[in-house]
Structure 1
Amino acid sequence: MSGRELVVLGTASQVPTRTRNHNGYLLRWDSTGILFDPGEGTQRQLTHAGVPASAVDVICITHAHGDHCLGLPGVVQRRVLDGARTPVHLYYPAAASTMVDALLVASGPAAASVVRHPVEGGGLVHDAGTWRLSCAELDHRVPALGWRVDEPDGRRVLPERAAALGVRGPAVGALLAAGSLEVEGRRVTVDEVTVPRPGQSFALVMDTRPCPGAVEVARGATVLVCESTFLEADAELAQAYAHCTAAQAAGIARDAGAEQLLLTHFSQRYGDDVEGFAEEARPVFGRVQALRDLERMTFPRRR
């Protein structure tokens, strides 16, 4: 795989509908595939999306409710059937270990391909160099984590400035690697021929009331996927069941300074027309879209 995109595998909440599967979000991050919340039916949705399960390198589970994890055994088994030759790394709240252990038992021998990473609390959980995985605690009826993927900040070369200082061709790479380079009797530094390039980031906030952890994990995210189970007319239900309304999800995006908000996890009570969620969110946060199953969302070009 190459490039960066989000493959939407399911957008339902507790009960799937005729057009919306249980949760599932595959983040294609350069050469790494990160699957978030494989709900029931995820391996079938991967087939519909044209993505082999062997493309999944990392799985992150937000919490131990079935619509977010019952598809785990099928995905684990399917990876092996699809020819995966490397282990899959599985991250989940430590409090969900009993559920995860049972699901992996159901995976049979394929469970041997899983490296388990139970997570206590929030913070950085993995640093792959070119990307980092971190999380924050959310406010749900069971322990839940919001997940975040970050690209480290870098620098962008300004070709005209580099050429004016005599840095061309292979010398550009040498300068970036060394930090400075002797050119025609003058030492040229990286700072003279580059400008900062902020890294991109992706955040996923599932079942939660609005809370500091949700804002923390979404801070400045290039793309934020956030649950919006209810509309404001049912705000009391959202509070009682520890979920967000569309307007509250927009408030999280606004307070976090996210760049783009993608709404999901819609209650079956509203049927299959989800545009009303985006309409409710726009007055609070304008750059919003309601997701639909099997959509593919390409990341914006780097600034």
Structure 2
Amino acid sequence: MLKVQVLGLPAQDNALWVVADTGQGQTRLLLDCGAGTLDTLPFAEVRAVDHVLFSHLHMDHVAGFDDLFRATFDLPGRVNHVWGPPGTARILSHRFRGYWWNHAPELSGTWHVHDVDGQAIRSLRFELHEAFEVAHEEGTRPVDGPLFTTPEVSVEAVPLRHQGVCLGYVVREPERVSVDPAALQALGLKGGPWLAALKAGATETLDVPGTPHDADELRTRLLRRQPGESLAYLTDFRLDEEEQARLAPLLAGVGTLYAEAQYLPEDADLARRNDHTTAAQVAALARAAGVGQLCLLHLSRRYRAERWPEFLAAARAVFPATHFPAGWPDEGVG
């Protein structure tokens, strides 16, 4: 299950908090970290974040990093990972070193920062006991699949255009494999450890129990597969017909698209000049990609609160399954 929370308020800095939970384990993701976005999260949750993923390093997407860093800089035994476009390691190195680390030799904390340009990932390591003074090169690898995969989730990067490289992200749960109880009963079999072995990919012959059975035949008759949940996060990007044609296949079938809606359609020229989108444009992308639903965020401060419902109306005219994050006013203000 993907538990998702949009952080921040309309026309203020936003971020996305995602917990991928299988029941056996969790992976916590923070996508962007604007000013004040962590205020509603429990401190223990902030300290448990596994990966921070920046779309880009404009102030409204990184201004809350110091709050995160203060909570997580010195967690012994934990490894911190930060992902972002080219320049992320350079910018964060200044944030790391922007304090008086007179106790650093007594402390422990490791930070891995990964610069992603869409074709390659350059990784660097920073150590707290060195007061973060040294950027240790950890090599470069091609982007030929997900940025990373855990037992609970995989994350892919989607390069976007926003006055340079900006990154969108697609988060996917692994395929779900379940046992069909009716098929199990029809075969006259009882559950047991052999089912776990079958789901784990056992081959040849299984002992069920005391009777040998062909594993491939059991797998065909008993196991049912379905895709896990998925989401995409796209913010601060220019969206024209060419970009829509490129992005739609990359988002095909995603469960929920969380996307910026900086401008109303009447300000499409302004959106184009600033490399942003309108609510109608991002709704057209959601329709072309065939996503399950669209959640609008990152509204421009230029609009008064009473105009926020116009964003929903403009998007729903193109893609009806559009909504605001929980807690945002859907119909009116006041």
SS of match in other structure, 1:196 = strand
Q: Please name the residue that 1:88 is paired with.
A: 80
1:173 aligns with 2:223: no
CA distance in 2, matches of 1:251, 1:225: 14
Aligned partner of 1:77 among 70, 81, 85? 70
SS of match in other structure, 1:26 = strand
Q: Please name the residue that 2:19 is paired with.
A: 28
Q: Please name the residue that 2:123 is paired with.
A: none
The residue type equivalent to 1:79 in the other structure is T
145-154 or 25-34: bigger deviation: 145-154
CA distance in 1, matches of 2:322, 2:17: 19
1:283 aligns with 2:317: yes
Which digits, 9 at most, give the CA deviation of each residue in 1:148-179, with x for residues without a partner? 11122233221110121133221422332325
Larger Rg: 2
Higher RCO, Cα 8 Å, sep 6+: 1
1:57 aligns with 2:55: no
Q: Please name the residue that 2:275 is paired with.
A: 242
Q: Percent identical across equivalent pairs?
A: 29
Aligned partner of 1:37 among 18, 25, 32? 32
Q: Please name the residue that 2:149 is paired with.
A: 127
Aligned partner of 2:248 among 215, 237, 242? 215
Which digits, 9 at most, give the CA deviation of each residue in 1:130-157, with x for residues without a partner? 3211101101113101011112223322
Sort the Cα spacing of 1:51 and 1:133 in 2 relative to 1 into closer, same or farther, 3 A.
Answer: same
SS of match in other structure, 2:161 = coil
Check whether the contact 2:12–2:298 (CA below 8 A) recurs between aligned residues. Answer: no
Q: Matches of residues 89-168 of structure 1 in structure 2 within 5 Å?
A: 89-106=81-98, 112-121=109-118, 123=143, 124-168=146-190
Aligned partner of 2:257 among 179, 200, 224? 224
The residue type equivalent to 1:289 in the other structure is H
How far 1:294 moved relative to its partner?
Answer: 8.3
101-110 or 172-181: bigger deviation: 101-110
Q: Matches of residues 232-271 of structure 1 in structure 2 within 5 Å?
A: 232-271=265-304
The residue type equivalent to 1:206 in the other structure is T
Aligned partner of 2:221 among 192, 209, 215? 192
Bigger share in helix? 1
Q: Which runs of 5+ in 2 are unaligned?
A: 120-142, 330-334
Q: Which runs of 4+ in 1 moved over 4 A?
A: 107-112, 182-186, 292-295
How far 1:73 moved relative to its partner?
Answer: 1.9
SS of match in other structure, 1:145 = strand
Q: So what's the TM-score if we normalise by structure 2?
A: 0.76
Sort the Cα spacing of 1:46 and 1:175 in 2 relative to 1 into closer, same or farther, 3 A.
Answer: closer
How far 1:275 moved relative to its partner?
Answer: 2.4
Which digits, 9 at most, give the CA deviation of each residue in 1:71-101, with x for residues without a partner? 11220112358x6851221001123443232
Matched residue count = 283
CA distance in 2, matches of 1:294, 1:104: 34
How far 1:202 moved relative to its partner?
Answer: 1.6
Q: Please name the residue that 2:8 is paired with.
A: 10
Q: Please name the residue that 2:131 is paired with.
A: none
CA distance in 2, matches of 1:236, 1:71: 30
Sort the Cα spacing of 1:207 and 1:293 in 2 relative to 1 into closer, same or farther, 3 A.
Answer: farther
Check whether the contact 1:205–1:226 (CA below 8 A) recurs between aligned residues. Answer: yes
